[in-house]
Amino acid sequence: MKKVYVILLLTAGLLLKGCYNYNDINRMLFPTALLIDVDDEGNYIVSLEIFHAYRSNQDNTEQGQRILYQRQGRTFLDAISDFELIGAHPFNYTQNKVIIFTEKAAEVGLEGVIDYLHRHQEFLLRPYVMVYYGEPEKLLNVPLKQNEYLGLYLFDLLDRPLSRLTIEHRKLYELLNNRRMGINAALLTAIKMDEGHLEDKVRKDGAAVFHNDKLVGKLDVEDMVAIAFMNDKVRRGYIDVPYPESTEKFISLEIVKSNTITDILYEEGKVYLRQTINVKTVIAGSEEPLILDEAMVKAIQGNGEVVIQEKCHRLFNAYKKKGIDIFQVQEIFKRKYPRIDIDNVIEVAELEIQVNHHLQGSTNILDFKR
């Protein structure tokens, strides 16, 4: 029996592997951000933001430094493989936080890049994927005081809950799943440089629209209201509605709760996408004095319903005309009618939307007066 225990103990000792010590870490390069661009001749330009740890000879402590690497190749594989020729240490991609496509690279297409990242043994499926509108050099060299590393800054920017209406920020595994749903249309977070406000920053700027893995359009910040309500992704946020007695003044409403119930109906060759949006708001501010009597409350509720309906119909009809299903209508239809084949459901679908807007009390404040 002792021999069995000894054999098991030796086997366990051989199988167990410890964590990296500082010597191991110092001999590795850890990318935190991957930026992919394409030049005018179709060559891929891949940039890496690297965290490199080293032991300081002055005070004998562990230090970290930010390094930027860039390589070019005929394909994405050629470019990223070329890093091994210039790195003094092996590259470890397990700490990569974001994958950034430039506008040009997104227009060329994601397919080859995404497939390679999916198959690569070290690349994780958790990094956020986004599209950058602007010059790559400005993004890589922006001085960020909140975090020295662009990859960590962008990860925090997308990972925290927001009080604004926006799309759901997608990670790599979510993008891979989305490619198998409907007719392969996707929305990715768009970012750009925010210049001229004391210090340069990086900000979110709507969403990039993809069809068959290629960039085909962009949703502005104003479109976030419609896409968030229709996709049932509203958690918090604000909407502006016209003041009941003026078309030039507005009331700001804070959303405290919302849910969207979606159903789809197929009748006589026609498809009806039916959505019921239930939203509760409170008044956040007003450009004119308010007396919240029953008539005023009903008027504000009605204006809120009209604003949401108009925004949803306008966005739906725009992408119905383009034949791009950013609302996953095809997937909703297939789940309910798996035996009926329609090539692109959104092209024949009609949107029927009902908004139930309930204006709640704003703590104990009943009037907004100057």
pLDDT attached to residue 22: 52
pLDDT attached to residue 120: 87
Evaluate if residue 232 carries a pLDDT over 60.
yes
Pairing verdict, β 349-359 and 270-286: parallel
The domain locations on the chain are 18-219, 229-370
The dihedral through the CA atoms of 323, 326, 327, 328 has a sign that is positive
Q: Please, which residues have CB within 8 angstroms of residue 182's CB and are 6 or more apart in sequence?
A: 325, 328, 329, 330, 331, 334
Tens digit of each residue's pLDDT (9 = 90 or more) over 310-351 = 999 999 999 999 999 999 999 999 999 999 999 899 999 999
Q: Which of 179, 323, 351 is nearest to 263 (CA)?
A: 351
* pLDDT cut 70: percent of the chain above it: 87
Contact 209, 219 (CB under 8 A): yes
User: Residue 282's pLDDT band (boundaries 50, 70, 90)?
Assistant: very high
Evaluate if residue 359 carries a pLDDT over 80.
yes
pTM value is: 0.86
3-class secondary structure per residue, the chain: CHHHHHHHHHHHHHHCCCCCCHHHHHCCEEEEEEEEEECCCCCEEEEEEEEEEEECCCCCCEEEEEEEEEEEECCHHHHHHHHHHCCCCCECHHHCCEEEEEHHHHHHCCHHHHHHHHHCCCCCCCCEEEEEECCHHHHHCCCCCCCCCHHHHHHHHHHCCCCCCCCCCCEHHHHHHHCCCCCCEEEEEEEEEECCCCCCEEEEEEEEEEECCEEEEEECHHHHHHHHHHCCCCCCEEEEEECCCCCCCEEEEEEEEEEEEEEEEEECCEEEEEEEEEEEEEEEEECCCEECCHHHHHHHHHHHHHHHHHHHHHHHHHHHHHCCCCCCHHHHHHHHCCCCCCCCHHHCEEEEEEEEEEECCECCECEECC
pLDDT attached to residue 291: 84
User: Residue 28's pLDDT band (boundaries 50, 70, 90)?
Assistant: confident
What radius of gyration, in Å, describes the C-alpha atoms of the chain?
Answer: 26
pLDDT attached to residue 200: 84
pLDDT attached to residue 168: 86
Alpha-carbon distances, residue 81 vs 50, 78, 116 (angstroms) = 16, 5, 11
CATH topology of domain 229-370: GMP Synthetase; Chain A, domain 3 (3.30.300)
pLDDT attached to residue 363: 47
pLDDT attached to residue 20: 53
Alpha-carbon distances, residue 123 vs 113, 151, 157 (angstroms) = 12, 15, 21
Mean pLDDT of 129-155: 93
Tens digit of each residue's pLDDT (9 = 90 or more) over 289-310 = 888 889 999 999 999 999 999 9
Contact 157, 144 (CB under 8 A): no
pLDDT attached to residue 25: 65
pLDDT attached to residue 163: 66
Alpha-carbon distances, residue 284 vs 86, 141, 223 (angstroms) = 55, 38, 21
